[in-house]
Structure 1
Amino acid sequence: MAEKETLGALERHFALQARGSTLRTEVLAGLTTFLTMAYIVLVNPAILGSTGMPIAAVAAATCLAAGFASILMGASANVPLALAPGMGLNAYFAFTVVGAMGVPWQVALGCVFISGVAFLLLTFAGIRQLIIAAIPPSLFAAVAGGIGLFIGFIGLKNAGIVVSNPATSVALGDLKTSGAALALFGLVLTAALTAWGVRAAILIGIVATTLAGWLVGAVHFTPQPYDLTVISQTAFHLDLAGVFGLSGSHGLGLFEILFVFLFVDLFDNIGTLMGVTRRAGLIDAQGRVPGLNRILLTDSIATIFGSLAGTSTVTSYVESAAGVQAGGRTGITAIVTGVLFLLAMFVAPYAQLVPLAATAPALILVGALMMAPLLDIDWHDPEIAIPAFLTVAMIPLTFSIANGLAFGLTAYAVLKLIRGKITRTDWLLLVLALLFVVRFAWLAAG
């Protein structure tokens, strides 16, 4: 009886049946999302550790922030969108703000906190919602496809199938290496299971590839000393007074830091949100995302919470698409992912048990399957096709969802302006395009 009541409560809150999912599918999807994101538990401490932040403490803070944010997103917004400290923003935090500008990491955390508060205020004021409404549906379809190429490229790179090359930028890697060979095995297995219609194909592929890696000795693991209480070395160590006390060479630097944290997180988040929710079939006939306000509020709170815990900006993860491909359609997927991140706090170093070569096939496969929204773009209309192409191309080529959206939106606004099709209702579109141009000019000047 109690079990039926529990299932009934879950059905009422998460609308499992209405979204064509089951509790079992959601749990498997959450596990799949976690496994494709688990690398952040190791990568984020490695990056932020270069600032002098205690690595073990950052590992715990990473797990705590990702767990809290993902559970909050699933419970309040009911979308299969998981969050964690963002790649790219953590590098900017470590190598530019702290490394190049010489800002103490405690002050840098204060900047992250302020950017989170600014996000919260922009959300309450409805400005973030207006920005999303100003972006044409064709660009959202392009963002979804661009994200597919992006995460597919990340998977190929993690597997060693694609490597950097000074002459051609990228080139084919050595497929005889253990990582590349293992990833190819996982890709074939996962693709075959997907073609056969196995719902847990991605999860099975990750687990099987990990086991294969251990059996052939391609995975090596050396546990590091770790104690959960070390999180106290970063938690609540942000220095807000130091932020407002920045002066001299840091006077304008403060505005630059806050602008980048705001700008990149805003448009990375919008792009990820639209791409993943579109893939999950959660966008309505008018191209709107149900519960958008709750999603944006959760994102803002997540960044604030992350700065208090002791990590860089927390944002939505494109790897959530792996869980969606595994069948995740509700917030239960995100909640399961969050719970697993909280559990990972106790065994953070053991995330190395799943090698990148095992999660790479999942990213490649999901990237391929995310190409479908590109069919909705009218490629015969230059006003739509050119901005869409720039969006799709620039996301993977610049390793930034924000850059792709910036190029596409600016091109769309310029073409409408040249054709004389701009109306009074397009004022925000023009403002966004102008901000993008200013940003690119600023980056070029720097």
Structure 2
Amino acid sequence: MDLLERLFRLSENGTSVRTELLAGLTTFLTMAYIILVNPTILADAGIPMAGAAAATCLGAAFGSILMGLFARSPIALAPGMGLNAYFTYTVVRGMGLPWETALGCVFLSGLAMLLLTVAGLRQLILAAIPQSLYAAIAAGIGLFIAFIGLHGAGIVVANPATAVALGDLASPNAGLAAFGLAVTAGLMVWRVRAAIIIGILATTALAWALGLVDFKPGPYSVEALGSTAFSLDIPAALGLGGGTLGIALIEIVFIFLFVDLFDNLGTLVAVNRRAGLMRPDGTIPRLRRVLLTDSAATMVGAVAGTSPVVNYIESAAGVSAGGRTGLTSITVGVLFLLALFAAPFAQAIPAAATAPALILVGAMMMAPLAEADWNDPAVAIPAFLTLIGIPLTFSISNGIAFGVIAYTVLKLVQGRAGRKDWLMFVLAALFLARFIWLGAG
């Protein structure tokens, strides 16, 4: 215990070993779905499912443990949703690239992020964004994960006429989620530190008791990792084999890099704000180490055989359960390692059990909005576009893009643009170029 105290400064951060372990378990339970979802998506790209499952666990374990040991941050990592879909349905199936070449592109994007971090450019980007946008990013991500929770619970559903609509509240899934919301919210009101994990476990127990969990683990072997490990084709990703894909390959690497960069930025801001870890000047402690970690995790994930590894916004659930140090993320990483030695067990925890955690964590992430001056249109408009853009476009990057572009345009209209804003204008130009490229596609 003394070693853990010295390494993670638990007392200084107002936490304990027990709290950190519970927080890690909470984060793991809210993101364990990736063990099943990621291999299913990557299998559509032709990647062997068992190998993709093992690579998913390995990439998440490596990134999370490195984040805890090296950066001492409570943020967990795993292959990112959205980027895995882009990998499969746009790069492999849409553009016809072999999945081995696509993995090579993932590796190169991780290497590019590593070099940008060493050069200090990623840190400059974080420093350039105004505090009002940071507040909107954190709250927007709160709305985003709350929406994911509401959808997972079946409370909000797709509707062709109105985009979204109220789901069937009489369904077992919605009933379980309502039970979980009531239990977890009540415990949070009573200031129970383990409220989220207790809520998840109580809802899971009820689902099992009512026979609402369809748990049928399939065959799985750690040895299956060999079917994807070291399969990436970096020479092909560099276009060294000739052909007509040179420009396309550059675009693929750029998209991986671009989306990964700004999704990670949003997650870092949101989770660190929720944990109260942001410094008074708005900077993130040990930022360089955090950024080096997610870059290295993406590269290792590509070698293992999975799409880009990113910081997970579900880490906010663990932070809400009291996680404040790297011991939280190490716990997540160890649990992902244990998942390598067993059948994928995430099915044992229904979506209705984790949905309340996401909804309530999202609610608690609204607090930073009080920091923005909503009476100043130059502040309020970019902040609002960021806030609403993240959940409605289902993309952290798009929400940040709306805010950055609006901020720079209004700066020009006011005639208040200065030299210190140069990087924001560069970012706005890049975001505009990205939207033009996506529109042309």
Matching residue within 399, 403, 408 for 1:404: 399
Would you say 1:58 and 2:70 are equivalent positions?
no
Cα separation, 2, equivalents of 1:82 and 1:184: 27
Match of 2:438 in 1: 443
For 2:83, which of 89, 103, 106 is the aligned residue?
Answer: 89
User: Helix, strand or coil: the match of 1:59?
Assistant: helix
Distance (Å, rounded) in 2 between the aligned partners of 1:427 and 1:13: 39
Task: Report 1:51-200 matches (<5 A).
Answer: 51-200=45-194
Q: How far apart are 1:178 and its partner, in Å?
A: 1.4
2:260 is aligned with 1:265: yes
* In 1: Cα distance, 2:343 partner to 2:118 partner: 35
State percent identity of aligned pairs: 64
- The count of aligned residue pairs is 440
Please tell me the residue identity of whatever aligns with 1:37.
Answer: M
1:342 corresponds to: 337
Distance in 2, Cα, partners of 1:157 & 1:260: 27
Task: Return the offset for 1:8.
Answer: 2.2
- Once residues 390 and 29 of structure 2 are traced to their aligned partners in structure 1, the CA distance between those partners, rounded to angstroms, is 23
DSSP-derived class of the 2:263 partner? helix
Amino acid at match of 2:66: L
User: What's the TM-score, normalizing by structure 1?
Assistant: 0.97
d(CA) in 2 for partners of 1:240 and 1:55? Answer: 22
The whole-number CA distance in structure 2 between the counterparts of 1:425 and 1:202 is 42
Residues 301 and 308, structure 2, Cα contact 8 Å, conserved in 1: yes
Once the two structures are TM-superposed, the CA of residue 418 in structure 1 deviates from its matched residue by: 1.3
Give the counterpart letter for 2:268 in structure 1: L
Give the SS at the match of 1:428: helix
Q: Secondary structure at 1:323's aligned position in 2?
A: helix
SS at match of 1:100: coil
1:382 aligns with 377
Cross-structure match for 1:25: 19
**Paired amino acid for 1:119:** M
* Structure 2 residue corresponding to 1:322, chosen from 317, 322, 325: 317
Question: What amino acid is the match of 2:285?
Answer: P
Amino acid in structure 2 at the alignment position of 1:141: A
Q: Which whole-Å CA distance do the structure 1 matches of 2:377 and 2:132 have between them?
A: 12
Distance 1:29 1:300 in 2: 24
Structure 1: gaps (5+ residues): 1-6
The answer as to whether partners of 2:155 and 2:174 remain within 8 angstroms in 1 is yes
Give the Cα separation in 2 of the matches to 1:252 and 1:179: 46
State the alpha-carbon separation in 2 of the partners of residues 48 and 256 from structure 1.
Answer: 20
Task: Provide, for residues 163-201 of structure 1, a one-character-per-residue CA deviation record: whole Å limited to 9, x for no partner.
Answer: 000000000011111111111111111111111111101
Find 1:356's aligned residue among 351, 359, 362. Answer: 351
Paired residue secondary structure (1:422): coil
1:433 aligns with 2:431: no
SS of corresponding position for 2:317: helix
**1-side partners of 2:396 and 2:204: how far apart?**
29
Alignment pair present for 1:223 and 2:217: yes
Would you say the 8 A contact 2:219–2:343 is kept in 1?
no
For 1:212 and 1:252, how far apart are their aligned partners in 2?
Answer: 53
Q: For 1:249 and 1:181, locate their aligned partners in 2 and report how far apart those are by CA, in whole Å.
A: 54
Q: Of the candidates 367, 371, 387, which is equivalent to residue 372 of structure 1? A: 367
In structure 2, C-alpha distance between the alignment counterparts of 1:157 and 1:131, rounded to whole Å: 33
Match of 2:234 among 230, 240, 249: 240
| Partner SS, residue 59 of structure 2 | helix
In 2, distance between residues paired with 1:248 and 1:309?
Answer: 27
Deviations 1:55-90 (A, max 9, x none): 011111101110110010011111110000000000
Superposed displacement of residue 251, structure 1: 2.7
Q: Deviations over 1:387-406 (max 9, x none)?
A: 00000000000111111111
RMSD value over aligned CA atoms? 0.9
1:276 paired with 2:283, answer no
Per the TM alignment, residue 249 of structure 1 is displaced from its structure 2 partner at its CA by 4.8
The alpha carbon displacement at 1:107 in A equals: 0.4
Could you say which residue in structure 1 is the equivalent of 2:389?
Answer: 394
Quote the residue 2:2 is aligned against: 8
- For 2:207 and 2:341, the matched residues in 1 are separated by 24
Gaps of 5+ in 2: none
Contact 1:41 1:348 in 2 (8 A): no
Counterpart of 2:356, as a letter, is: P
Task: Give me the whole-angstrom Cα distance separating, in 2, the residues matched to 1:341 and 1:200.
Answer: 21
Residue type of the partner of 1:437? L
Q: Report if the CA contact (8 A) 2:238-2:246 is conserved.
A: no
Q: Tell me if 1:304 matches 2:290.
A: no
Question: Which consecutive segments of 4 or more residues in structure 1 shift more than 6 A?
Answer: none
Matched letter for residue 61 of structure 2: G
SS of residue paired to 1:349: coil
Whether the aligned pair in 1 keeps the contact of 2:60 and 2:309 (CA below 8 Å) is: yes
Q: Which amino acid aligns with 2:33?
A: Y
Asked if the contact 1:32/1:202 (under 8 Å) is kept, the reply is: yes
Q: TM-score normalised to the size of structure 2?
A: 0.98
> 1:93-124 CA distances to partner (integer Å, 9 max, x unpaired)?
00000010000000000000000000010000
Judge which range, 187-196 or 8-17, deviates more: 8-17
| Residues in 2 aligned to 1:252 and 1:240: alpha-carbon distance in whole angstroms | 15
Q: Shift of the alpha carbon at 1:282?
A: 0.7
Compute the displacement of 1:442 (Å): 1.1
Larger deviation, residues 345-354 vs 83-92: 345-354
Question: Cα distance, 1:9 vs. partner?
Answer: 2.1
CA distance in 1, matches of 2:160, 2:174: 20
Cα distance in 2 for residues equivalent to 1:249 and 1:33: 44
CA–CA separation in structure 1 for the residues paired with 2:351 and 2:341? 21
Separation (CA, whole Å) in 1 of partners of 2:427 and 2:376:
23
